[in-house]
Amino acid sequence: MEKKKPRASRDIFIYTLGTTLRQLVGFIMLPIYTTYLKPADYGIVALLTLSIAIFELVLGARFAQAIPRFYYDAKDESEQKLILSTALTITGAVSLFGFLLVWQSREMVSDALFGTIDNSIYISIFAFLLFSTGVERYGMTYLRMLERPIAFVVSSLLKFVIQISLNIYLVVMHGYGVMGVVISSVVSSLVFCIIFILLIYGRCGFSFDVSLIKKLFKYTWPLWVAGGVSLIIHSSNRFFIRSYWGLEDVGLFELAVRFSAILGILVWQPFSHWWQTERFRILKHLEENPAQYQLVFDTVTTVMVFFGAAIAILSGPVIVLMSAKEFHGAITAVAPLTYSVLFLKFGMFMNFCFLASDKTIVISYLKYIAAVTNVALLLLFIPDYGFVGAAYAVLIANFLLFLITYFWGKRSLDLGVGLGFLFKSLFLLAGVTLIDSLLLAQAPFIMGLVYKFALLTLYLVISVYLLHQNKPTSHLVSAAFEKVKLRFL
């Protein structure tokens, strides 16, 4: 086991890199989208992406999450191949049925999404993703089960290159607009869909086990329900914005969401890959080290809050530089959306109380509470305040959900985590945000950028000082200072 630890660490890093590359495509494409598309066009792309996620949930056989469960329980290699082949066949068949159904009803879907049938051509092409993404996700899971991290990253990188190249060719060079984005997404996904079909059937053969169908559906249907609730929580805002204000506001909101998502992709995701297993190890020795969870919580929240502040403060100049003037309104929604990500991730940290106490059903209850709260706040804020109101509605909902999760979690299993240090960090964050919005917003661009970096530097110094004064984390700061002294003195 000790020999496997370096390899496990390496594999986690490689898988994180591959996943991050796939998720960063949308952000890296923003300069092109915001230069060659109008906010309304970007809103169309956002709604198309969300609609496919919804249809895939309802019509696609999302068995990729279930395959490892049955694969590792198989008696021998031949049974593993039977499981892989059967699951791919079911996934492909159901996803193909979903594509045909959406393609056939494209005008009705377009009218429901956009209030017009004029965008039905986008629906008919984008519907191919119903088939390709299900198989593609299955293929990526297959690579992980084979323990092929390099192949995982290479496939992620190749898709990354194909999609960006097609976007540049179709959107920039030929001015195809929304159609260019749609074609790029579909072609890049179909390429890897075909590759994975050939790879899996080539290695496993074409075989089918009817008895496995029931097992797969029984295992995955709760995941579909949970996925549906998550979509309501994270996606209903776009549909409400479109209904009350129009596609242009959807596009501005989506741009702000892209910036806020950086926090989860670049900070929380690498941490969570380590934390998913480490938290159970700490639990085993909790009596010996009762302050360990507090130590981890205070450290990760400090890092998250700092990077959240950096994204909120620096997003304005970045959006001004990278986008047309029509998109600059999105700046006002970046800060509340970024801070909403903070509370969402803090809540995910505290969810461990329910996992460790075998009360996982509570996590489902929390999702239902979050869905109802989100919808209620969105309906309250969006009619009068548009996409900015939606951003603050999400922030308030995630903050309330975090508090509910925290206090409910302490009743299930007290990990010894207090919120005192977190609220100090949040108080500091509020002060920095207020200074930035009231004093620096009107400064000339270059000087404003200098002031923003100075403000973030001051914020970092104060954060390190607070960490040093905080008992659970003080030794970490002291150890870091000692290393700096040894290296430079």
**Would you say 453 and 316 are in contact if contact means Cβ atoms under 8 Å apart?**
no
In this predicted structure, the answer to whether residue 366 has a pLDDT above a threshold of 80 is yes
CA angle 15, 153, 64 (to 5 degrees): 65
- The Cα–Cα gap between 261 and 1 comes to 35
Determine the pLDDT at residue 23: 67
CA-closest candidate to residue 333, choices 393, 398, 401: 393
Sequence ranges of the domains in the chain:
4-208, 245-488
Measured between alpha carbons, how far is residue 486 from residues 465, 473, 483, 489 in Å? 20, 21, 5, 6
In this predicted structure, the answer to whether residue 191 has a pLDDT above a threshold of 50 is yes
- The Cα–Cα gap between 117 and 484 comes to 63
Structure-model confidence comparison of residues 219 and 426, the more confident one: 426
Supply the angle between the helices 474-488 and 445-469 in degrees, to the nearest 10: 110
Least confident of 288-292, 371-375, 433-437, 462-466: 288-292
With a CB cutoff of 8 Å and minimum separation 6, the contacts of 37 are: 45, 171, 177, 178, 181, 251
What band does 305 get if pLDDT is binned at 50, 70 and 90?
A: very high
The predicted-structure confidence for 313-337, as pLDDT tens digits, reads as follows: 999 999 998 888 999 999 999 999 9
- The Cα–Cα gap between 323 and 327 comes to 6
Determine the pLDDT at residue 283: 85
- The Cα–Cα gap between 90 and 149 comes to 26
- The Cα–Cα gap between 237 and 394 comes to 9
- The Cα–Cα gap between 68 and 437 comes to 48
- The Cα–Cα gap between 110 and 123 comes to 7
Q: What count of Cα atoms within 13 Å lies in the side-chain half-sphere of residue 40? A: 4
Write down the pTM of the prediction.
Answer: 0.86
What band does 247 get if pLDDT is binned at 50, 70 and 90?
A: very high
Q: What count of Cα atoms within 13 Å lies in the side-chain half-sphere of residue 305? A: 28
Q: What one-character DSSP code corresponds to residue 118? A: T
**Would you say 144 and 152 are in contact if contact means Cβ atoms under 8 Å apart?**
yes
**Would you say 237 and 390 are in contact if contact means Cβ atoms under 8 Å apart?**
yes
The predicted-structure confidence for 408-466, as pLDDT tens digits, reads as follows: 999 998 888 999 999 999 999 999 999 888 876 677 888 888 899 999 999 999 999 99
What mean pLDDT comes out for the span 464-481?
84
The predicted-structure confidence for 24-43, as pLDDT tens digits, reads as follows: 666 778 888 888 999 999 99
The predicted-structure confidence for 158-183, as pLDDT tens digits, reads as follows: 888 898 899 999 999 999 999 999 99
Q: What is the 3-state secondary structure (H, E, C) of 320-362?
A: HHHCCHHHHHHHHHHHHHHHHHHHHHHHHHHCHHHHHCCCCHH
